[in-house]
């Protein structure tokens, strides 16, 4: 029940980040809903397809779609009355990415896959929704920028794997791994930490 509640919360947060990404794109409400939906379920859908997990989670449980709709409406109502706080978009993305990264890692681990597959699956699950959101709204995806993003997901998944290997309860390992991702992302956002860009050789 705890993980299911967190799953719905992650979908709501990612849907909200999708709405925030459209606030300067002059979309109608249907367009906003499309972006929010792709953001919220894109990563989980890819996860289920690659792990051959059927039916796909939102097909088996329509409450995910209900949560997306409610999140979109609440976020739009908020934005109609108050401006979004400074880094709300990045903070919302951090929580959504953290949850889905650990969700993908958990399913891959429980399916018996090796650690490298667990890490790759978790990262793909965590970043795909955000990538779809950024591509649709004509932004450079965060994963392709210098920001500490996918590496935060890797760190959280590694922490999760270590705890699961030590036979720590699933729920605690999940929350601890998610906390690692969120803390790293928020620290990077707060102090603008990033990796140096790859130096480009200039032709003369």
Q: Residue 65: beta bridge partners?
A: none
The total of structural domains in the chain comes to 1
- pLDDT reported for residue 58: 95
Residue 97 lies in a domain: yes
Chain-centre distance for alpha carbon 112: 23
For residue 202, being part of any structural domain is answered with: no
Cα dihedral 145, 78, 65, 33 sign: negative
Structural domain includes residue 167: yes
Q: Is residue 68 part of a domain?
A: yes
Residue 197 lies in a domain: no
User: Is the residue at 196 inside a domain?
Assistant: no
Q: Is the pLDDT at 200 greater than 70, yes or no?
A: no
Q: Which domain holds residue 88?
A: 2-191
Strands in 6-145 per DSSP E: none
Buried b (16+ CB within 10 A) or exposed e, 48-78: bebbeeeebbbeeeeebeebbeebbeebbee
What digits encode the pLDDT tens for the residues 160-169?
Answer: 999 999 999 9
Give the distance from CA 82 to its chain's centroid.
25
The 10s digit of each residue's pLDDT in 19-43 is 988 988 899 999 999 999 999 999 9
CA nearest neighbour of 16 among 106, 104, 78:
78
Nearest-CA neighbor of 194 among 132, 151, 131, 134? 151
Tokens 């601890």 found at: 176
pTM of this prediction?
A: 0.85
**Termini Cα distance of the chain:** 62
Question: Which pLDDT band, with edges at 50, 70 and 90, does 204 fall under?
Answer: low
25 is a domain residue: yes
The answer to whether residue 183 sits within a structural domain is yes
């Amino acid at each position: 029940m705890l993980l299911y509640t967190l799953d719905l919360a992650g979908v709501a947060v990612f849907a909200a980040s999708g709405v925030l990404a459209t606030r300067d794109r002059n979309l109608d409400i249907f367009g906003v809903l499309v972006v929010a939906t792709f953001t919220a379920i894109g990563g989980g859908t890819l996860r289920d397809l690659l792990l051959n997990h059927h039916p796909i989670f939102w097909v088996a449980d329509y409450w995910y779609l209900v949560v997306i709709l409610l999140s979109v409406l609440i976020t739009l109502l908020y934005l109609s009355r108050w401006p979004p706080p400074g880094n709300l978009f990045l903070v919302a993305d951090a929580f959504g990415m953290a949850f889905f990264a650990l969700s993908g890692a958990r399913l891959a681990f429980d399916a018996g896959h090796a650690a490298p597959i667990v890490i790759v699956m978790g990262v793909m699950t965590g970043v795909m929704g955000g990538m779809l959101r950024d591509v649709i709204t004509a932004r450079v995806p965060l994963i392709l920028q210098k920001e500490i993003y996918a590496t935060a997901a890797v760190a959280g998944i590694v922490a999760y794997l270590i705890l699961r290997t030590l036979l720590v309860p699933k729920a605690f390992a999940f929350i601890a791994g998610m906390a690692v991702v969120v803390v790293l992302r928020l620290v990077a956002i707060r102090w603008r930490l990033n990796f140096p860009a790859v130096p480009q050789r200039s032709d003369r």
